[in-house]
Amino acid sequence: MKCKKCGANDAEVYLAYSNLKLCPECFMLLAERKVRNTIETYKMLSKNDNIGIAVSGGKDSATLAYILSRSFEKIPMTLIYIDLGIPDYSQHCLEKVKELSKIIDRDLIVYSLEKELGFRIPDFKSTIYGRKMCSACGTVKRYLFNKITYDLGLTKIATGHNLDDTVEAIFNSYMEGNVGALVRLKPVLPKTHPKMMPKIKPLICLTDMECLLYATYRNLPIRMLECQFAKRSRTIRRKEVLNLLADKIPSFKHTFISSHYRRILPLLEKALGGQSVGDEMGIFDCPVCGMPTSLRSMPCHFCKIVSLLKRKA
């Protein structure tokens, strides 16, 4: 079977949602075009930008960094890696992001939790987060990527959230009736506080599998180890359910996300009068670290969970 685009090479990739059979070269060009179109549609980048790219050693952030760097050569970009101190895994991922930074010739900032803050993610095992390590880890990463981007004087941060991540997050917010989270799950999050950096998600148009195929065909350095805390998380189980739906209805994820952004989200925002749920309560400065928080006169989530470790020490 020949590639449906070029008609010359053998097709290796089948995109069921659009019934396309492509050769690796045409698939990679299509993926890059989709990302560039997403960036244009949502006005994610401007020529004065100097962006941070959150990298983890995984397929998504490697794909993101490669496509951004190649498509927007003139825009300054810095890779940011947080060393979480997870035995074997963090060191392995660090080696991958170092290789990636060499390949794309962009600077890499490595922030070590242990060196900078004196703790590691596994230290949360002995706290109330022992059974939900990913929740503590997510809070730490979100906080630090924002803070590092701010401290470095960059203009925004790009993350590797892909289409599957976003469909799962929207689906979960529907399930929980969490309208606030639903309204915040946008491809672009603008600056709502002087220290809250804008966030962009250029991979929102590519599935998990497309990111994996892209990183593999481009021979990008990606991790081979799984984090020891990743086992059977709820997020993974919800993704499995959504994949079952996509097996039966191949366009399910694309239709779901486009209906949400085109039809549901504008209505929700209108109903909220242009505010996100929680906006009416404002954004405050954390009394401990000075970074933005939705909690009035209280430490931010990051400071709260870090204080748990200090109490244990």
Binding site for ligand Q46 (CB under 6 A): 84, 121, 133-134, 137-138, 227, 229-230
CB of 27 to ligand Q46, least distance (A): 26
Return the H-helix or E-strand segment holding 24. Answer: helix 24-41
Of 53 and 306, which CB lies nearer to Zn ion in the complex structure? Answer: 306
- Residue 128 — left, alpha, or beta (φ > 0 → left; ψ -120 to 50 → alpha)? alpha
CB of 244 to ligand Q46, least distance (A): 22
Residue 110 binds which entry of ligand Q46, Zn ion, none, with Cβ cut-offs from 5 to 8 Å by kind? none
- Subset of 252-311 contacting Zn ion (CB under 5 A): 286, 288-289, 300, 303
Strand partners, 82: 111
- State the number of CA atoms in the 13 A half-sphere of 239 facing the CB: 14
CB of 5 to ligand Q46, least distance (A): 34
Q: Residue 304's closest CA among 124, 183, 154?
A: 124
Of 209 and 289, which CB lies nearer to Zn ion in the complex structure? Answer: 289
Residue 300 binds which entry of Zn ion, ligand Q46, none, with Cβ cut-offs from 5 to 8 Å by kind? Zn ion
Of 45 and 306, which CB lies nearer to Zn ion in the complex structure? Answer: 306
Q: What gap in Å lies between CA 74 and CA 91, rounded to an integer? A: 31
CB of 286 to Zn ion, least distance (A): 3
Residue 39 binds which entry of Zn ion, ligand Q46, none, with Cβ cut-offs from 5 to 8 Å by kind? none
Residue 133 binds which entry of Zn ion, ligand Q46, none, with Cβ cut-offs from 5 to 8 Å by kind? ligand Q46
Give me 141's structure tokens.
């990463």
Question: Please, what's the b/e burial string for 241-262 (b: 16 or more CB within 10 A of its CB; e: otherwise)?
Answer: ebbeebeeeeebbbebbeebbe
Of 288 and 308, which CB lies nearer to Zn ion in the complex structure? Answer: 288
The full DSSP string for 240-305 is HHHHHHHHHSTTHHHHHHHHIIIIIHHHHHHHTTTPPTTGGG--EE-TTT--EESSTTS--HHHHH
Q: Say how many residues touch Zn ion, by CB under 5 A.
A: 5
Q: What gap in Å lies between CA 79 and CA 97, rounded to an integer? A: 8
Beta-carbon count within 10 A of 67 CB? 25
CB of 142 to ligand Q46, least distance (A): 11
CB of 306 to Zn ion, least distance (A): 8
The answer to the question of residue 144 lying near Zn ion (CB under 5 A) is no
Of 94 and 133, which CB lies nearer to ligand Q46 in the complex structure? Answer: 133
Q: What gap in Å lies between CA 61 and CA 158, rounded to an integer? A: 9
Residue 286 binds which entry of ligand Q46, Zn ion, none, with Cβ cut-offs from 5 to 8 Å by kind? Zn ion
CB of 132 to Zn ion, least distance (A): 20
Q: What is the number of the residue whose Cβ is closest to Zn ion?
A: 286
Of 49 and 165, which CB lies nearer to ligand Q46 in the complex structure? Answer: 165
Residues in the site for Zn ion, rule: CB under 5 A? 286, 288-289, 300, 303
